[in-house]
């Protein structure tokens, strides 16, 4: 009886809740900064490196199917404090700069176009009825490349939503994440902060600071897309009609905003606690991941 009472007191002191936050954490505004598309190009890699070197706690999602992933790995080996995710990739959206499946086009023919490249949009991919077993093979191959790269991998997410387009493909990703002991984006109760990608070039910082000022207690996720405005990036044109024009200028502006002293001051002024996905996983636990509500 005394032992049981003692355990109850300990549990009450811990203040456990079903949300994965203890009671003394429930008023904390946690802030996750996730840098997307690392490995896509040299310009993206160099921009991510600049953000890392500001000292902000960040997570970055690497596209291991892309040509510049090895440079990304080299950078991240020098920065083990960064939480790394796999940006599961089934699309290649840039004109004259395409990539295809790691598993090889002959192994996953339902995922590629006539040239062996991924299609630009998930709508085009699913219009040709990709086979579930081929999706699983390609995603597993990307995960294997990542976990064998020499850097610690903490989580998976997905480029343009293609890997979780249907319930069946979402289950494939969930099963792979469980098999490889990886977290999944939005499975820890994170709330998405507003995007900084769409605002005009000169509004990125104001948008980012405005987002920070609206955050509530809990886990808040800010996804940013950074790159250098160089000839390499300027030459990249989105094949999708919804893609932004002058993409390189948008990404350079996001880099300027997230690297700025004003942004870091806004984090302090709004009492945010920056954390990485690795820390979030430690706080909540892989065993307590829950599928988020699905959009209609």
- The CATH number covering residue 233 comes to 3.20.20.370
CB 152 within 8 A of CB 125: no
Q: Is residue 108 part of a domain?
A: no
Give the domain extent around 206. 26-99+148-288
What pLDDT score does 18 carry? 39
Q: Mean pLDDT per segment of 10 residues, for the chain of length 296 residues? A: 36 39 68 98 98 98 98 98 98 96 98 97 95 98 98 97 95 98 97 78 89 95 96 94 88 96 97 98 96 75
| Cβ(45)–Cβ(228) below 8 Å | no
Residue 118 lies in a domain: no
Answer yes or no: are the C-beta atoms of 43 and 71 closer than 8 Å.
no
* 257 in a structural domain: yes
Q: Which of 11, 78, 65 shows the shortest CA–CA distance to 39? A: 65
User: What confidence score (pLDDT) does residue 200 get?
Assistant: 81
Which tokens go with 272?
Answer: 């945010």
For residue 12, being part of any structural domain is answered with no
Please report, to the nearest 10 degrees, the dihedral formed by the alpha carbons of residues 152, 157, 158, 161 taken in order: 180
Strand, helix or coil for residue 10: helix
- CA 291 to centroid of chain Cα atoms: 16
| Domain count within the chain | 1
Assigned domain for 9 exists = no
Dist CA 45 CA 76 (whole Å): 10
């Amino acid at each position: 009886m005394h032992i049981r009472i003692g355990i109850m007191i300990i549990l009450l002191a811990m203040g456990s809740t079903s949300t994965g936050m203890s009671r003394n954490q429930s008023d904390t505004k946690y802030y996750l900064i996730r840098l997307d598309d690392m490995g896509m190009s040299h310009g993206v890699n160099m921009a991510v490196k600049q953000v890392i070197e500001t000292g902000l706690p960040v997570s970055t999602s690497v596209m291991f199917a892309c040509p510049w992933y090895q440079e990304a790995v080299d950078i991240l080996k020098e920065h083990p404090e960064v939480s790394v995710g796999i940006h599961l990739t089934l699309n290649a959206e840039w004109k004259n700069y395409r990539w295809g499946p790691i598993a090889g086009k002959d192994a996953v023919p339902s995922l590629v176009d006539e040239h062996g490249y991924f299609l630009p949009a998930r709508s085009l991919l699913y219009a040709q009825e990709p086979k579930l077993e081929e999706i699983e093979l390609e995603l597993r191959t990307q995960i294997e490349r990542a976990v064998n790269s020499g850097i610690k991998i903490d989580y998976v997410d997905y480029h343009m939503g293609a890997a979780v387009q249907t319930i069946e493909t979402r289950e494939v990703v969930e099963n792979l994440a469980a098999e490889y002991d990886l977290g999944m984006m939005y499975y820890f109760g994170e709330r998405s902060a507003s995007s900084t990608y769409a605002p005009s070039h000169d509004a990125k910082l104001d948008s980012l600071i405005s987002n920070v000022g609206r955050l509530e207690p809990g886990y808040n996720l800010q996804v940013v897309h950074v790159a250098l405005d160089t000839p390499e990036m300027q030459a990249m044109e989105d094949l999708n009609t919804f893609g932004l024009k002058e993409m390189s200028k948008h990404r350079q502006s996001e880099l300027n905003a997230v690297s700025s002293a004003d942004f870091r001051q806004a984090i302090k002024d709004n009492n945010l606690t920056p954390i990485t996905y690795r820390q979030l996983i430690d706080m909540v636990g892989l065993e307590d991941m829950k599928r988020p509500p699905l959009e209609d």
